[in-house]
Structure 1
Amino acid sequence: MTLPNERARALNWAGEFIKELCNTGEISEKRRQEAQVILRHYPTAAEIGFLDHFPPEKLAPPVEHPPPTVEKQNPGRFAHLYGVLTAQQMADHLKCSTEAVYERAVAGELLYLSSPSRVDDRRYPAFQLDERLDKSLLQQTKQKYLEADVNSTLLWSFLRRPQKIYAGLTPIEMLLGGMPPEYDTLTPEERTDIFLEVVDEEISRVRW
């Protein structure tokens, strides 16, 4: 069993290790930039110490934010779409084998979060199973990240983060048909262009 002080020490150690990676010439420039992105939001030693002594039952649940929606008559429309599934869970939903899931992931049909250890440890964002998903727009988004050589973990972070230009909706909610009122007069092509412009800005931010 991990003790609270051991957990705090491990977090501090991880932070120092990431800082060391940023300052060493032993890793690629791409990895160094990714490490810097992580450090932007990494807790300080004081914050780690505070969390270490704070009663677990008082801590917020591991959810980044309650999914907002512009549809007041249908609150929670996008609930439960921010989780991730194992290959087996994804296969069960798609009614196929795990091998077929892996093949679809390799072919670029499914977004997955890379595992540092094994292929069968990959995780698949659950929102991809929703029938409202704009698969073409998601594919274009994935392609932009691929061409920029930015990993899927950063893409997943972007997809879950509310965007001011989307009236507080997340990219996932936009991909599932969410629409700010001011977008009503836009054509589908114009909406796509605005979405992809935000994608380009995000890629530029995390790369530099």
Structure 2
Amino acid sequence: MQNQIKTQAEASVSAAFELATLSFSQVERLTELTLEQAKVNSELAQAQLTSVLEVKDPAAALELLKSQLDTSVKSLAGFAATAYELTQTFQAESAAFAEGHFDHAHDTANKAIHDSLSKAPEGSEAAVTAVKAAVEAGNKALAEARKNAKKTAELAQEGLAKLKEHAPKAAVKAPVRRKARA
């Protein structure tokens, strides 16, 4: 029994380190993205300041402002899209990790229950049958819950994809100007 606990503890520690490594890699990717965006922002600011110094009349200033806002919106939309994709990748990786470890733990628990039931004393057949039925019902309920969770996640992904399609279009549109009152 002690050997079984030691094995489970070692597996848990190993899983924790794997998850930590996965999390650190996500932090690293997001940090790289943030640094890259900071570089892009710096270059964009420099170009915008240079352009501002070359403005000669109000019409050119308005056109420059419109151009700079458009460029900034596109840059931020690109950053947001990349950050979203990184987050989705991490979510998929961590879900696969958790699912794999859960499946292993679930199989181990089912095996332990089955082994314990096979060593049940004589005369307890009815109880063993009831426990086996309960375990089977629990396994079916778990499988159904996982199937529903996956379907819900897929529907959420579809909804986010549709939202993402429309977001850049909405961001690029200029606000409607109101006419000045006379």
Q: Do Structure 1 and Structure 2 share a fold, with TM-score over 0.5?
A: no
TMscore range, shorter length: under 0.3
Q: TM-score, normalised by structure 2?
A: 0.20
Question: If each structure's helix is expressed as a fraction of its own residues, which one has the higher value?
Answer: 2
- Higher RCO (Cα < 8 Å, 6 or more apart): 2
Whichever of the two has the greater Rg, that structure is 2
